[in-house]
Amino acid sequence: MISKFIGRQKELSLLEDEWNRTNGRLIILYGRRRIGKTRLITEFISCKNGIFDIAEDTSPYIRINRLQEKIAEFTRDEVLRTLDIKDWDQLFGYLTKNCPSERFYLAIDEFSYLIKSDKSILSTLQKYWDTALSSSNICIILSGSMLGLMSEMVLSHASPLYGRRSRDILLEGLPFSDSNEFLNMPFQETLETYMILGGVPEYLLKASEYTDITNFVEKEFFDKFGYFYREPYFIISQEFRELKTYFSILNSIAFGNTKPTDIANFIGIDARKIYPYLENLIRLGFIERRVSIFGNQKKGIYLIKDPVFDFWFNFVSKHKEEIEKGIFKLRNNEMPRFFGKRFEIFVEQKIIHHLIPDFRKIGRWWHKGEEIDVMALNEEGKEIAFFECKWQEVDRKSSRHILADLKRKAALVKWHNDERRELYGIIGKKINGKEKLREMGYLVFDFEDLMSLSKFDVKG
């Protein structure tokens, strides 16, 4: 089990920068469940003085009394312990009048629970921030996992705290290089685990208990007592009331319905009513709307973005009855197909910009049934690169066929066709004869290359 703090150096640097500035600081830290917000806060405050409180889904009165006790303990204020404080106004009013003269922190984790139970905390905090705390030595950190609630109630224009925060940090998944430090698996299985879990630290910590991915997914996904068996239920129920509708939409996309009309027809609702649901899922990072790199912006498709959700809805949701009965067995081609899809995304988002840094515009291309896995443009130099991604070993004969077909499809791409410089490449598990292909001018990379790229955020 990994216990040391991994990564997050940029986020720690931002927090330290806020701490070292003058006057009061108000920092909003938000991100999905299990992403490491609490761990980041505890690492940041480890050598500092202040008050750290983890809110719970209890009554406001209980929360106020618990925070009152922590403030009294930090300030060694016996008078505060004896006061009958009934609301946030009294508590923040007292803190304002008795603020320590040296820099200190007030970190409230799971702040969204406080908002959920009593929204008055926002206007109260605004009141005392404007009148006193903004010019004090306090550094307030408000952290929350309910992304919808944090966005709407804390970060939006309508929030009482709008314009008061000195920094907001959306905590996202760790890069592969940091995620790699959690796992004790060969490179391919480490990458497969990352493509299932993303860079979510607590998920990776669970995976670190295993030495092979097969055992991991069988025990933690494909078992009704597994860690991930109900995880999407917990996450979605925290964000939405219409659980069945959102689950149906995600199931529809997992079954291959990527257009709004098809998604709506699959779940049996009016297509005109599907868009608010899709927008909510996009806003929280569960799905994404994608457009071909040269495509019409009005003709986007919807895909599951979150890796855990993508894996769960493609396997667990589809085979739930078999899993419940304890008879589920993976079919031979199911996992490779999933990894092939996620590998294309991984290459597009994490690899290409390291391999050809002058090519700034990167994406997928599709048109009338034809697809190119990854395309990249150097618009200033009028250069265009076409890549095929293969989740398999590629022999010499297959390489020739892949490159020939890539050239055929490239001719269909309309972009400076008479004056552009074209590059072609293959990225796969293992490319046989890759040195010869490179001598011929092709961009060819496999796992051996990815593991040795020191500047790339994949470390083998």
459 inside domain: no
Shared domain for 257 and 115, answered yes or no, is no
pLDDT recorded at residue 451? 87
pLDDT recorded at residue 334? 87
Contact criterion met (CB below 8 Å) for 375 and 365: yes
If pLDDT is split at 50, 70 and 90, which confidence band does 375 have?
very high
Number of domains into which the chain is organized: 3
pLDDT recorded at residue 267? 96
Give the integer Cα–Cα distance in Å for 251 and 266: 9
Strands (E), 379-455: 383-394, 421-431, 443-446
Shared domain for 400 and 360, answered yes or no, is yes
Give the integer Cα–Cα distance in Å for 100 and 102: 6
Shared domain for 278 and 426, answered yes or no, is no
For 142-192, the pLDDT digits (tens) are: 999 999 999 999 999 999 999 999 999 999 999 998 999 999 999 999 999
Shared domain for 234 and 89, answered yes or no, is no
For 316-374, the pLDDT digits (tens) are: 999 999 999 999 988 878 899 999 999 999 999 999 999 999 999 999 999 999 999 99
User: Which one of 143, 170, 197 terminates a domain?
Assistant: 170
Q: Which of 75, 211, 210, 72 is nearest to 220 (CA)?
A: 210
Q: In whole angstroms, how large is the CA radius of gyration of the chain? A: 25
CATH code of 407's domain: 3.40.1350.10
Give the integer Cα–Cα distance in Å for 307 and 248: 18
Give the integer Cα–Cα distance in Å for 191 and 207: 12
89 inside domain: yes
If pLDDT is split at 50, 70 and 90, which confidence band does 457 have?
low
Residue type for position 257: N
Give the integer Cα–Cα distance in Å for 372 and 363: 9
293 inside domain: yes
Shared domain for 32 and 129, answered yes or no, is yes
Tokens 């920094």 belong to 167
User: Which one of 337, 367, 393 terminates a domain?
Assistant: 337
CATH code of 279's domain: 1.10.10.10
Shared domain for 235 and 276, answered yes or no, is yes
For 84-117, the pLDDT digits (tens) are: 999 999 999 999 999 999 999 999 999 999 999 9
By residue range, what is the domain housing residue 224? 177-337
pLDDT recorded at residue 333? 81
Statement: residue 303 has pLDDT above 50? yes
Give the pLDDT mean for 227-256. 95
User: Which one of 170, 196, 215 terminates a domain?
Assistant: 170
- Return the structure tokens found at 342: 């996620």
The secondary structure of the chain in percent helix, strand, coil, rounded to multiples of 5, reads 50, 15, 35
Maximum C-alpha span of the chain: 82
Residue type for position 227: Y
Shared domain for 315 and 204, answered yes or no, is yes
Shared domain for 146 and 233, answered yes or no, is no
Tokens 């003269």 belong to 101
Shared domain for 185 and 314, answered yes or no, is yes
